[in-house]
Amino acid sequence: MVIGADNVALEQDPPKGVHEFPVHTYLLAKAGIPIIELVFLNELAKEKIYQVGFIGKVMPIKGATGALIQPIVFPFKK
Protein backbone atom coordinates (compact mmCIF):
# COMPACT_ATOMS: atom_id res chain seq x y z
CA MET A 1 0.00 0.00 0.00
CA VAL A 2 1.10 3.56 -0.70
CA ILE A 3 -0.60 6.80 0.26
CA GLY A 4 -0.48 9.57 -2.34
CA ALA A 5 -1.33 13.21 -1.81
CA ASP A 6 -1.65 15.97 -4.38
CA ASN A 7 -0.22 18.61 -2.06
CA VAL A 8 3.24 19.33 -0.69
CA ALA A 9 2.49 18.22 2.87
CA LEU A 10 0.40 15.28 3.98
CA GLU A 11 -0.08 16.84 7.40
CA GLN A 12 0.20 20.24 9.08
CA ASP A 13 3.42 21.42 10.66
CA PRO A 14 3.56 20.46 14.34
CA PRO A 15 3.16 23.14 17.01
CA LYS A 16 6.22 25.20 17.91
CA GLY A 17 8.63 23.16 20.03
CA VAL A 18 7.30 19.81 18.79
CA HIS A 19 9.61 17.99 16.41
CA GLU A 20 7.41 15.08 15.42
CA PHE A 21 5.07 14.58 12.49
CA PRO A 22 2.60 12.02 13.88
CA VAL A 23 1.04 10.99 10.55
CA HIS A 24 4.46 10.44 8.95
CA THR A 25 5.69 8.61 12.04
CA TYR A 26 2.71 6.28 12.10
CA LEU A 27 2.53 5.57 8.36
CA LEU A 28 6.26 5.14 7.73
CA ALA A 29 7.63 3.70 10.98
CA LYS A 30 4.70 1.80 12.49
CA ALA A 31 2.53 0.78 9.52
CA GLY A 32 5.30 0.56 6.89
CA ILE A 33 3.28 2.57 4.36
CA PRO A 34 5.29 4.87 2.04
CA ILE A 35 4.08 8.40 1.37
CA ILE A 36 4.21 10.07 -2.03
CA GLU A 37 3.50 13.80 -2.13
CA LEU A 38 2.81 16.14 -5.06
CA VAL A 39 1.00 13.47 -7.07
CA PHE A 40 -1.24 14.87 -9.84
CA LEU A 41 -4.53 13.12 -9.06
CA ASN A 42 -7.08 15.36 -10.84
CA GLU A 43 -7.51 13.15 -13.93
CA LEU A 44 -8.05 10.03 -11.82
CA ALA A 45 -10.55 11.84 -9.58
CA LYS A 46 -12.52 13.12 -12.61
CA GLU A 47 -12.92 9.51 -13.74
CA LYS A 48 -13.85 8.47 -10.17
CA ILE A 49 -10.83 6.17 -10.01
CA TYR A 50 -9.76 5.89 -6.38
CA GLN A 51 -7.73 2.67 -6.37
CA VAL A 52 -4.99 1.82 -8.82
CA GLY A 53 -2.12 -0.53 -9.33
CA PHE A 54 0.95 1.65 -9.10
CA ILE A 55 4.53 1.44 -10.33
CA GLY A 56 6.92 4.22 -9.38
CA LYS A 57 9.99 4.19 -11.60
CA VAL A 58 12.69 5.83 -9.49
CA MET A 59 15.80 7.75 -10.46
CA PRO A 60 19.01 5.76 -9.78
CA ILE A 61 20.54 8.15 -7.24
CA LYS A 62 22.71 6.63 -4.52
CA GLY A 63 22.28 8.01 -1.02
CA ALA A 64 19.17 10.09 -1.79
CA THR A 65 16.25 10.31 0.64
CA GLY A 66 13.82 11.57 -1.98
CA ALA A 67 13.65 12.17 -5.71
CA LEU A 68 11.26 12.54 -8.63
CA ILE A 69 9.62 9.37 -9.93
CA GLN A 70 7.91 8.36 -13.14
CA PRO A 71 4.47 7.11 -12.03
CA ILE A 72 2.61 4.42 -13.96
CA VAL A 73 -0.94 3.51 -12.87
CA PHE A 74 -3.32 0.72 -13.79
CA PRO A 75 -6.89 1.56 -12.73
CA PHE A 76 -8.85 -1.19 -11.00
CA LYS A 77 -12.13 -1.90 -12.79
CA LYS A 78 -15.27 -2.44 -10.72
How confident is residue 59, by pLDDT bands cut at 50, 70 and 90? confident
Map residue 22 onto helix, strand or coil: helix
72 occurs within a structural domain: yes
pLDDT confidence of residue 31: 94
Calpha distance 14→16 (Å, rounded): 7
Residue 13 pLDDT exceeds 70? yes
Does 54 lie in the same domain as 31? no
By the 8 A CB rule, do 20 and 37 touch? no
Does 35 lie in the same domain as 68? no
Output the pTM of the full model.
0.61
Does 61 lie in the same domain as 34? no
How confident is residue 30, by pLDDT bands cut at 50, 70 and 90? very high
Residue 69 pLDDT exceeds 90? no
Does 54 lie in the same domain as 33? no
Domain extent for 3: 1-39
Give me the number of domains the chain comprises.
2
15 occurs within a structural domain: yes
